[in-house]
Amino acid sequence: MKQVLYTLIAIAIATTSYSQTLDEQFESLKEDSETFKSYKVIDQSKLNAFWNMTMDSVRNLKAEKATIANDSKSKDNTITDINSTLETKNAQIEELETQISTIEVFGLDVSKSSFIFFSFFTIGALIIVLAGILYKYKDNNRIARVKVKEYEKLHHDFEEYKRTALDKQMKLRRDLQTERNKLEEARN
């Protein structure tokens, strides 16, 4: 029963002096105490109340410290997660930038600007080669037409020569036959 009374008094003192800081409560406890020789006599209930308030403050500070430590750990974990996510995102960004700036040709990654330069160079070279082939084709075609015309002329001349030669030969045969006939008539 006595302890219940002390507890109630301590709670009453604690609630009335709760708004005071521990320093203020200590100073108040010293001022309210009596002096005996060089010693201060402090009411035990006030001392217990002060002690309870001190322990409550210490518990509250420990709880705050634990809460802060837990918050710090959770924030550290969050920061670690964010950093790993950031590293993953940065790796993805680098991969996307590589995909954007390069193109895969025959299994090799080639920068797009190099590929475009190579493509235009190749197309230009093919156009030049095609122009050379077309020029050579036209030149060969022109030469072939000239050769065909010359061949046709030569063939026509040869056919004309053969016809005239055949005509001459036939005329000579006729003349020869006529002369043979004349010679035969003269012999008869």
Where are the domains positioned within the chain? Answer: 2-94, 110-187
What is the pLDDT at residue 183?
87
What is the pLDDT at residue 17?
45
Contact in structure between 40 and 30 (CB atoms under 8 Å): yes
Q: Answer whether residue 6 shows pLDDT above 70.
A: no
Q: Does the predicted model carry a pTM greater than 0.85?
A: no
The SS3 of residue 36 is strand
Residues 148/153/157/160 CA torsion (nearest 10 deg): 100
Tell me the β-bridge partners of 108: 105
Read off the pLDDT of each residue in 152-180 and give the average, rounded to a whole number.
92
